[in-house]
Amino acid sequence: MTPPPATVQAPGSGETFLLNLGPQHPATHGVLRLKLTMDGEYITRAEPVCGYVHRMHEKMGENRKYAQFLPNTSRIDYLSAMHYTHAFVGAVERALGLAVPPRAEYIRVITSELNRISSHLVWFGAFLLDLGGFTPLLYAFDDREQILDLLEAITGSRLTYCYYRFGGVCHDIDNAFLEGTRAFVARMRPRLRLYHELVTDNIILRNRLIGIGPIPLELCRRYGATGPVIRGSGAAYDVRKTEPYSVYPQFDFDVPVYPEGDSMARYRVRMDEIEQSLRIVEQALERLPSGPVRAEGVPRVLKLPAGEFCCAVEAARGRFAVRIVSDRREIPWRVKLRTPSFSNLSLFEEASRGMMLPDAIALLGSLDLVIPDIDR
């Protein structure tokens, strides 16, 4: 069953109609709207319309002290809150030259990677839902629940964590967390194998993903697509490797790369990343140093030196970067948030041209969008 090439010219009289996909639609996972110009079931033009959950986080950043804005960052991409707070505290720490205690850095890595796994599990379930497979979602959420419980115990939140602090983390982790994380790693490996057996090797899934929605590397570069999207197109671009932050250089992990650029490649990248994150968590647990978890003498109200400070992290969906412009006051002059879903979605219009509607849904799902991350 070979799918028709993505560039296939739609048959018919050339009469098109406008199909409004969203803002309320099961496949848009939130309030994204796609204005599709259709020729039959072929898409001749797809125009994403965003902004339905725009909250103007950047303006809020200009009205709050640094510590007050910190919780905002975890609300941008609610599925990958750890990474977002990490970028913000990272930028502030860079500006102040704060040295973070090693134990805190390790805890950050552990929690970040757990967060990445939970985010990928949500994607896995939701993506299969897009493809009409209902059951994997519940399995994925079962695993994710373990992570949420673990993180809830130490951070107090299940989703929008605000656990990192300028110069460390909020409080130390306990033995229950360490034990629970070890148990989770031991549990997750066989579960991943199960997913591969039940889902990845399924012939229907393969037919729906292989060769569908190809995104050439050049397209990724010109649109600034990052994360699993660019790694599924053949570039080993991972902020943890190319712009190392925290203690990531101390860990041995691979960056999964698949050159095909189709939806299957993006699927495989994320599944492999779960495995790599498990490896990182394992190593971090093994070598977890003792010591304080917060830098000494960080003032309650921070004043950054004048200048611009950037920090980028590898969030679950790709490169998230914070740019803080400070004028020595306790409130930033400007906070710019560069979010991965924004750039990843911007290539959809070009990538979906000439596709059939269900294929475009598969492509959209394989981009793993979180709408508040686009709209900010």
Partner 1 sequence: MSVSLPEPLRLFALLAGAMAFVGLNAAYLVWAERKAAGRFQRRPGPTEAGPAGLLQPVADVLKLISKQLMVPPGADAVLFRAAPVLVLVPAMICLAVIPFGERWVAREMPLGLLVLFAFGSIQVMAVMLGGWASRNKYAIISAARIVSQDVAYEIPMLLVMITLLMVTGTMDLGEIVRQQAGGFWRWHLFRLDANPLMPLTFVIYYICMLAETNRAPFDMAEAESELVAGAYTEYSGMGFGVFFMAEYANIVVGCATATVLFLGGWQSPIGVGSGPVWFLAKLYGLVFSVIWVRWTFPRTQFYGLLNLSWKILIPASLFILVLSGAALQLSGS
Partner 2 sequence: MTPSPEQIARELASRFPPSPPADAPPPAAPALASTGGPAGATPAEGGAAEAGTVRMLDYARCGCHLEAHVQPAQVVAAAALMDQFGFALDTITGLDWLPAGRMEIVYDFFHPHATLRVAVRTRVPRDQPDVPTVSSIFPGANWHERETHDFFGIRFLGHPGLTPLLLPEEAAFHPLRKDFTG
| Binding stretches for partner 2 (CB under 8 A) | 50-51, 54, 56, 58-59, 62, 91, 94-95, 97, 217, 220-226, 230, 235-237, 242-244, 305-312, 319, 321, 323, 325-328, 333-334, 336, 338, 342-343, 346-347, 350, 375-376
Q: Which does 205 bind (CB under 5 to 8 A by kind): partner 2, partner 1, none?
A: partner 1
Residue 149 · residue 289 · CB < 8 Å? no
Comparing C-alpha atoms, which of 207, 209, 166, 109 is closest to residue 298? 166
Candidates 100-108, 132-140, 155-163, 320-328: pick the segment binding partner 1 (CB under 8 A): 132-140
Note whether 129 binds partner 1 by CB under 8 A. Answer: yes
Note whether 207 binds partner 1 by CB under 8 A. Answer: yes
CA distances from 324 to 6, 11, 88 (A): 42, 51, 9
Note whether 359 binds partner 1 by CB under 8 A. Answer: yes
Nearer to partner 1, 42 or 258 (CB): 42
Q: CB neighbours (10 Å) of residue 182?
A: 14
Nearer to partner 1, 25 or 65 (CB): 25
Name the token pair of 99: 């040295």
Nearer to partner 1, 9 or 207 (CB): 207
Nearer to partner 2, 3 or 224 (CB): 224
Could you say which of 91, 107, 205, 284 contacts partner 1 (CB under 8 A)? 205
Instruction: Kindly state the smallest distance separating residue 364's Cβ from partner 1, in Å.
Output: 10
CA distance 85 to 75: 9
Note whether 40 binds partner 1 by CB under 8 A. Answer: yes
DSSP 240-288: HHHS--TTGGGS-------SS-SHHHHHHHHHHHHHHHHHHHHHHHHH-
Q: Which does 300 bind (CB under 5 to 8 A by kind): partner 1, partner 2, none?
A: none
Burial 115-140 (b: 16+ CB within 10 A, else e): bbbbbbbbbbbbbbbbbebeebbebb
CA distances from 231 to 267, 280, 298 (A): 11, 19, 38
Note whether 25 binds partner 1 by CB under 8 A. Answer: yes
Instruction: Kindly state the smallest distance separating residue 45's Cβ from partner 1, in Å.
Output: 15
Note whether 218 binds partner 1 by CB under 8 A. Answer: no
Name the token pair of 124: 């896995």
Name the token pair of 136: 């994997």
Name the token pair of 220: 């990724």
Candidates 2-10, 153-161, 285-293, 320-328: pick the segment binding partner 1 (CB under 8 A): 2-10
Could you say which of 91, 121, 337, 356 contacts partner 1 (CB under 8 A)? 356
Residue 148 · residue 158 · CB < 8 Å? yes
Q: Which does 29 bind (CB under 5 to 8 A by kind): partner 1, partner 2, none?
A: none
Instruction: Kindly state the smallest distance separating residue 140's Cβ from partner 1, in Å.
Output: 11
Instruction: Kindly state the smallest distance separating residue 84's Cβ from partner 2, in Å.
Output: 15
Q: CB neighbours (10 Å) of residue 299?
A: 10
Instruction: Kindly state the smallest distance separating residue 29's Cβ from partner 1, in Å.
Output: 10
Nearer to partner 2, 193 or 222 (CB): 222
128 Cβ contact list (under 8 Å, min separation 6): 134, 135, 136, 137, 199, 205
Residue 285 · residue 143 · CB < 8 Å? no
How is the beta sheet containing 334-338 ordered, strand by strand? Answer: 307-315, 318-326, 334-338
Q: Which does 129 bind (CB under 5 to 8 A by kind): partner 1, partner 2, none?
A: partner 1
Half-sphere exposure (Cβ direction) of 70: Cα atoms closer than 13 Å: 22
Note whether 11 binds partner 1 by CB under 8 A. Answer: no
Note whether 271 binds partner 1 by CB under 8 A. Answer: no
Note whether 204 binds partner 1 by CB under 8 A. Answer: yes
In the complex, the residues that contact partner 1 under the rule CB under 8 A are: 1-4, 17, 19-20, 25-27, 40-41, 128-135, 137-139, 142, 202, 204-205, 207-208, 356-359, 361
